[in-house]
A = this chain, B = another copy of it.
Amino acid sequence: MPDVFSFSPIGHLATPFPDKFGIPRQPSLAPHAMGNLRLLPPFDRPETVRGLEAFSHVWLTFVFHQTAGEWNPTVRPPRLGGNKRVGVFASRAPFRPNPLGLSLVELAGIETVNGVVLHFRGVDLVNGTPVLDIKPYIPFVESLPQAQGGFVDGPPAQLSVAWSAPAQTTCDLARLKYPALHLLIEEVLAQDPRPAYADDPQRLYGVRLYEFDVKWRCNGTTAIVEALE
């Protein structure tokens, strides 16, 4: 049996997230984060996705391409405050022996006119992520509400989000191009994408979404959108 298995992407995901920073850490936390996947040849035939529309959710198996090649036996999950270590196999951290990721996304639409483009809702992956496989989600097997989820036993606490007047104005204009931008920004900031232990209410943070650099501060439990650049 071979010791090495090689795989090629079936496509690369287009998402609102140009870089890792700020990406919601679970796919369901930002339902307005839309992504799409154009299948590469020879997978771009409508037959390959025939019947997929009967499923509401799909698994994306992808490569953590930005972290490939680095791993440690333990990691510090953000959910544990970044100061407690668990085993890499007890986490969903991107730094893994085999940097394979698994993301459950909602299937929002399928285009098969020119090639095949799949649209997803609730993506939590960086723009350009190489996707290796798509599989339908099978609720009768994979929905286990009674399972014990270790240290990830519910959604994290969320911030409320407030807007400065200039940021609101810029966002309103941008909504011609991105109708759900307002909601996406709120969903992303609600996850509190600060580095662990950063707690300076004056400090300005930046999160990139599409071509915007969203500048925001955090005051207690409120994220304040200061500007969209």
- B-binding residues in A (CB < 8 A): 1, 3-10, 12, 26-28, 43, 45-52, 54-59, 61, 63, 65, 68, 73-74, 85-92, 96-98, 100, 102, 104, 128, 130, 132-155
Contacts and interface: CB of A to CB of B under 8 A. Distances in A.
Nearest to A128: B1
Q: In the complex this chain forms, how many copies of it are found?
A: 2
Contacts of A61: 61, 98, 100, 102
B68 A148 contact: no
B132 A47 contact: no
A11 to B, nearest CB: 10
A26 B89 contact: no
23 contacts: A1-B65, A5-B9, A7-B98, A10-B97, A26-B141, A48-B73, A48-B74, A48-B87, A50-B90, A51-B151, A52-B87, A54-B90, A55-B147, A61-B102, A89-B134, A92-B138, A102-B102, A102-B135, A137-B147, A139-B146, A140-B152, A143-B144, A143-B147
A148 B54 contact: yes
A63 B5 contact: yes
Contacts of A8: 3-5, 97-98
A5 B68 contact: yes
Most chain B beta-carbon contacts within 10 A, residue among A46, A92, A139: A139
A98 B136 contact: no
Most chain B beta-carbon contacts within 10 A, residue among A27, A51, A54, A151: A51
Contacts of A86: 50-52
B104 A144 contact: yes
A133 B43 contact: no
Contacts of A128: 1
Contacts of A65: 1, 5
Most chain B beta-carbon contacts within 10 A, residue among A12, A97, A148: A97
Contact of A96 (B55, B56, B97, B133): B133
A45 to B, nearest CB: 5
A137 B151 contact: no
